[in-house]
Amino acid sequence: MAGYSGALGTEYQSGGTAYSPPFQDLRKYDLSDEIIKRFITAAPLYGILSRKLKKKSVGDPEFKHIEDGETYYTGTLFGASSATNATAHTIDQNYAWFTINGAAKYLQAGQYIYIPYGQTNDSNTTTTLLTGNRAKILSIYDSGTDATNVVTVAPESSDDVMPKTGVAANTLQFYILPAANAEGSTAPDALQDILGTGLQYTEIFRKAVDVTGTRLGTEMWGGSDLRRLRAKAMDFVIRGVERAFLFNKMAKSDVNGKPVRTMGGILDWLRAPTGNTPTGRLDPDASVADWSSTSDLVSGNGTSRVYNVGGTLSLLNWYRFLDAAFQWGSRTKIGLCGSRFISEFQYMMSGKVVIPPARMQWDLQIYDFAAPGGTLNMIHEPAFEGPHALNCLILDLEPLGYAYLNVEEGGKYNGPTDIKLVKDIGENSYYGSKEEVFAEVAIKKAFLKSHAWMTGITATA
């Protein structure tokens, strides 16, 4: 449809003139009297989060959320040449030093670490215990940099032979065991845990509707232009909010001395370029690594929230992705899926797993998939078309939310800045109706580790 500038009058219609307007040729059977807008199906994330239980007013356009790290039960280590030096070496001493990233934040002296036998990087051929080896933490050297935290450990018995990696870059996995306490002992050192904060901006969305009084007074086939344009403007803003929730990057600029803010979206929050932590994404316990093509949720170090499949979708990588996605957070999550992902998923599952028929929830069509760690509610996301059509974004709804401001003295804009229609915004003498659909909102992000993103899928030939 051709665009137009200014108010929509009786003379405007693409291809017509003021003397022979083509709208006179419209026939009732050409247009529907009722314009049906699928707001929720077009913007499922907005539709779910905009419900009352997920909405919350904030008192500042720049607000923060709290990130509280989960308790750790496993970790990764590699060798160190001394109690204060993180240079890797072969680990085969009675008293060994391990470099453990961020160890000072979640390990304490007196605890034990259990290193399972038979790991790929364990090159110690003398290790014979199938149950693995246990060592007691004697001390932790905190240099102030997570990557150089060195932990001094000692085997508990002569049967515990410390493993060795053989290669500096190799790592070994371990489990954390609690400290043993003697009879009559006093309380150990208190847990040192600091909450982290992430920043977010509200963003202003506007779409005007402008129809002259003469146009409003002209009987038209197809019904009222004002109602039709209101619906289109509402649809435009809702779809824009949906895309901003997903794709936007948090930024602030200045126009004529006034700030212009864009919120940070979910995908930018989950995926950070290697070596860069963007503003607003903060992990208080340093467990979420920067994303790269070789270090991802499944095939890399297991701490990033993005899984770059790098090939066709298979049952193996799908279940590995689900295992990682459900490691933290709620046992029921939603999966926003591109249309081509859904077709690839159905093709992959054909003849293997029976998917229950779709059901309706939140006015959306839901496909339930029983994952090993919980239930995934799969939903088609229309915004995931084009480059993201083969993507699946798993979100934990519990920590997410939908923020808006509350304007106490704003004239026609009084009240919540949730998406709304603001009427009569033209000049007092204006002959017509000028309105706008307006919003100042943001997605509230929290608990980064409870969400996950699958991308990099190649379509089946």
Q: Which tens digits make up the pLDDT trace of 93-145?
A: 567 778 887 777 778 888 888 887 777 766 665 544 445 677 888 888 887 76
Q: Considering only 187-191, 281-285, 332-336, which range has the smallest mean pLDDT?
A: 281-285
* Residue 330 pLDDT level (bands cut at 50, 70, 90): very high
- Is the model's pLDDT at 188 over the cut of 80? no
Q: Considering only 147-151, 272-276, 446-450, which range has the smallest mean pLDDT?
A: 272-276
Beta strands in 381-429 (DSSP E): 392-395, 401-404, 406-407, 415-416, 420-422
Average confidence (pLDDT) over 325-342 = 92
Q: Which residues of 266-297 are buried (b: 16+ CB within 10 A; e: fewer)?
A: bbbbbbbeeeeebebbbbbbbbbbbbbeebbb
What's the pLDDT at 267? 87
- Is the model's pLDDT at 290 over the cut of 60? no
What's the pLDDT tens digit per position in 379-426? 999 999 888 999 999 999 999 999 999 988 878 888 889 888 888 888
Distance CA 377, CA 335 (A): 6
Distance CA 32, CA 10 (A): 20
Q: What pairs with residue 201 in β-bridges? A: 62
* Residue 180 pLDDT level (bands cut at 50, 70, 90): confident
Q: What pairs with residue 368 in β-bridges? A: 377
What's the pLDDT tens digit per position in 47-93? 888 876 778 888 888 887 666 555 667 777 877 777 777 776 666 55
Distance CA 311, CA 341 (A): 13
Please provide the average confidence, as pLDDT, over all residues in the chain: 76
Around Cβ 259, how many Cβ atoms within 10 Å? 11
Higher pLDDT, 443 or 144: 443
Domain extents in the chain: 1-69+193-461, 74-177
Task: Judge contact between 196 and 282, C-beta under 8 A.
Answer: yes
What's the pLDDT tens digit per position in 302-318? 556 888 888 888 888 89
CB proximity list for 306: less than 8 A, separation 6 or greater: 270, 271, 291, 296, 297, 452, 453, 455
Distance CA 34, CA 263 (A): 35
Higher pLDDT, 435 or 19: 435
Residue 387 structure tokens: 């480059």
CB proximity list for 72: less than 8 A, separation 6 or greater: 106, 176, 285, 287
What's the pLDDT at 30? 34
Percent of the chain with pLDDT over 70: 71
* CATH architecture classification, 74-177: Beta Barrel (2.40)
- Is the model's pLDDT at 24 over the cut of 60? no
Percent of the chain with pLDDT over 90: 17
What's the pLDDT tens digit per position in 220-256? 776 777 888 888 888 899 999 999 999 998 888 888 8
What's the pLDDT at 285? 34
Average confidence (pLDDT) over 289-307 = 58
